[in-house]
Amino acid sequence: MGNICCSIEQKNNDTEEEQEDAFKKHDSELQKIIDQEQEEDEKKQVIRSRYYQFDVISQQEAEKESPRNTYMFYNSMDDNNKKAMDIFQNEGTDAAVKHMTTNSDGKPRSYAEMRSLYG
């Protein structure tokens, strides 16, 4: 009878060790998956960071370009219209309208004067 008890105890010990080994293996595999996901997240973050840097540099380069290059008929315009276009592109619509409707002395320009200068 002693052999049967020892055999059962040995089987229980083997089962506990196997379970512990299985848990360790499972934990190890789970940690590998977590590490891989973290590595992928880090790679994505690097890519996002580089894309953001490229985007910022692209925007800075675009801002350096002369606004004259953005309107395809700019070179065909007369000087009055070029000046109005420069103001429009750099300062906005309100500033361009103010420029076109105000004389150089600061007095309001008539509609006819404005049309004669700017078409």
Q: What is the pLDDT along the chain (119 residues), one digit of tens a residue?
A: 555 555 555 556 668 888 888 888 888 888 999 999 888 888 878 777 777 777 777 666 666 655 555 778 888 889 999 899 989 888 989 999 999 999 989 999 999 999 999 98
| Residues 44, 74 share a domain | no
Total domains, the chain? 2
| Residues 60, 72 share a domain | no
Q: What pLDDT, on the 0 to 100 scale, is given for residue 74?
A: 85
The residue to which tokens 């700017």 are assigned: 118
Q: pTM to 2 decimals? A: 0.43
Q: What pLDDT, on the 0 to 100 scale, is given for residue 12?
A: 60
The residue segments making up the domain with residue 87 are: 67-118
- Give the whole-angstrom CA distance, residue 84 versus residue 11: 94
| Residues 46, 89 share a domain | no
Q: What pLDDT, on the 0 to 100 scale, is given for residue 14?
A: 65
| Residues 41, 74 share a domain | no
Q: Which helix (H) or strand (E) holds 14?
A: helix 2-64
| Residues 22, 71 share a domain | no
Q: What pLDDT, on the 0 to 100 scale, is given for residue 65?
A: 57
Among 119, 111, 53, 62, CA closest to 89 = 62
| Residues 74, 27 share a domain | no
